[in-house]
Copies of this chain bind each other. A is one copy, B any other.
Amino acid sequence: MSSAGDQETSRLDDAARAGWLYYVAGNTQDEIARKLGVSRQSAQRLVSLAVSEKLVKVWLDHPIARCMELSRDLADRFGLASCQVAPSDPDAPAALTGVAQLAAGDIERMLKSDHPKIIALGTGRALRASVEQLPKMDCPQHRIVSLLGNMMSDGAATPYNVVIRMADRVNARHYPMPLPVFARSMEEKLLLQQQEAVHNILELARQADVTYVGIGNIGDTAPLLVDGFVSREETRALIKAGAVGEITSWVFDRSGRLIDGLTNDRVASANLEVSPAKPVIAIAVGMLKVDAILAAMRGRLINGLITDEATAEHLLTH
């Protein structure tokens, strides 16, 4: 038995040596084989043994490393097809620049494709900031379609008109939705959606190859409330019904199920549909949004996420 133990340790020792020569000294496996007096193949086995026995530890000495780790953990935990985490600026935790750049990079990659794509967009400050980061491009092959109306109920234009801004920058055909965000009633909503133009836009949205949306929280600081789309009373009613977040004004509860009735009866936005093959990517940052993001992920309302380090940490500890 003692000889078995010795052989074992000497084998690991050799593995360590091989691993050292390979990873630290930068030798090729061929050279290692010569130096250790074994065949090339054996050297390869020793190196891979060193790896599989966890003798070699690799880590990255760069702030980005933490972000990569967080994104992998988030993707694993919530079954996301893609997840990106931007470094937070510790001085300005609510800053959007990091995520905006990341999102812009993602969008740009899509746009660079020669194959025509339909890109659907929600609204929100984060999405708006991302679009601002896009370089000027020329992409007449793609179509950009809005997921939700661009009017207040009184006909005023909504802020953050992302579709037009983006189409401006990248010169693509675009389809803003000429509707109020909320109709005054379910009947009106159905009526409005039967217009041919609107119908076509909704159909286009349904076919989108990729979708980018923001996520809103519900409560005193909710974008829906602050921007005047829903009243304080409606907000109270929504909270009572369990609402924690919204995507393109569709309000959902903490397991990501759409709230029945209330404002959801009147939302004119395209339906939230996620097929596993089509990315639906949320861009969302901030402590206030943690619950909403969690809910959206639980309910599979999204299958991709772009956020920042601080938010990611909170998502994983909740």
Interface residue ranges, A against B (CB under 8 Å): 9, 12-13, 15-17, 19-21, 23-27, 31, 34-35, 37, 50, 53-66, 68-69, 72, 87, 89-91, 95, 97-98, 101, 105, 108-109, 112, 135
Contacts and interface: CB of A to CB of B under 8 A. Distances in A.
Contacts of A9: 65
A56 B57 contact: no
A51 to B, nearest CB: 9
Contacts of A66: 13
Given A17-B64, A35-B90, A25 B57 contact: no
A23 B60 contact: yes
A60 B58 contact: no
Contacts of A55: 60-62
Q: How many copies does the complex hold?
A: 2
Q: Closest 6 A-B residue pairs measured CB to CB?
A: A16-B62, A16-B64, A37-B109, A55-B62, A20-B68, A23-B58
A169 B109 CA distance: 35
B109 A24 contact: no
Nearest to A37: B109
A103 to B, nearest CB: 13
Contact of A61 (B26, B57, B65): B57
Nearest to A82: B35
A105 B37 CA distance: 9
B89 A25 contact: yes
A101 B6 CA distance: 13
Most buried by B among A21, A53, A54: A21
A60 B101 contact: no
15 contacts: A9-B65, A13-B62, A16-B64, A19-B60, A19-B62, A20-B87, A24-B59, A24-B65, A24-B68, A24-B69, A25-B98, A35-B89, A56-B60, A56-B61, A57-B60
A61 B17 CA distance: 11
A89 B16 contact: no
Contacts of A19: 60, 62
Contact of A31 (B61, B91, B105): B91
Contacts of A98: 20, 24-25
A101 B20 CA distance: 11
